[in-house]
């Protein structure tokens, strides 16, 4: 068991496209206080961060090299079942959405998505994490 003392909870953003990662980081920075915002470009890096601290929220892209968003969600839910996973994708299909539900992905957003929808999800998740 890791010692999380002294570390703020973190929100992890997983995206292999730098421009989208920057936008998500700015959005999270403006929405959250008291949370570390960690940006990574691979599922493996996200899992390494989850091993180091409490992570109430992971926002991940679906289509990434190495480990896709579904595989990442499965690994997260296995090691940190209370972590909320939001998967975003430009490759939305009914089949992918079904598979996302099977992996216990909490929210599934198709690109382009309204930023206010993501903002509301983040607020709801963090509110429930605090209470």
CA 127/CA 109 separation, integer angstroms = 20
Please, which pLDDT band fits residue 33 given cuts at 50, 70 and 90?
confident
Question: In angstroms, how far is CA 7 from the centroid of its own chain?
Answer: 18
Cα angle for residues 105, 110, 112 (degrees, 5° grid):
140
> What mean pLDDT is predicted for residues 10-33?
90
Q: Which two tokens stand for residue 35?
A: 């949370």
Domain positions in the chain are: 10-126
pLDDT (tens digit per residue) in 88-119: 999 999 999 999 999 899 999 998 889 899 99
pTM of the model: 0.91
Report residue 119: phi and psi, to 5°: -60, -45
Is the domain defined by 10-126 classed in CATH 1.10.3470.10? no
């Amino acid at each position: 068991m890791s010692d999380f003392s002294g570390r703020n909870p973190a929100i992890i953003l997983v995206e292999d496209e730098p421009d989208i990662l920057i936008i998500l980081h700015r959005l999270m920075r403006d929405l959250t206080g008291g949370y570390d915002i960690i940006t990574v470009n691979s599922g493996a890096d996200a899992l390494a961060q989850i091993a180091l601290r409490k992570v109430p929220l992971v926002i991940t892209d679906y289509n990434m090299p190495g480990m896709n968003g579904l595989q990442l969600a499965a690994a997260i839910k296995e090691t940190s079942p209370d972590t909320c996973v939001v998967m975003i994708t430009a490759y939305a299909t009914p089949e992918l959405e079904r598979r996302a539900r099977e992996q216990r992905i909490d929210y599934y957003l198709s690109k382009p998505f309204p930023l206010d929808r993501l903002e509301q999800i983040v607020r709801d998740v963090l509110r429930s994490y605090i209470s």
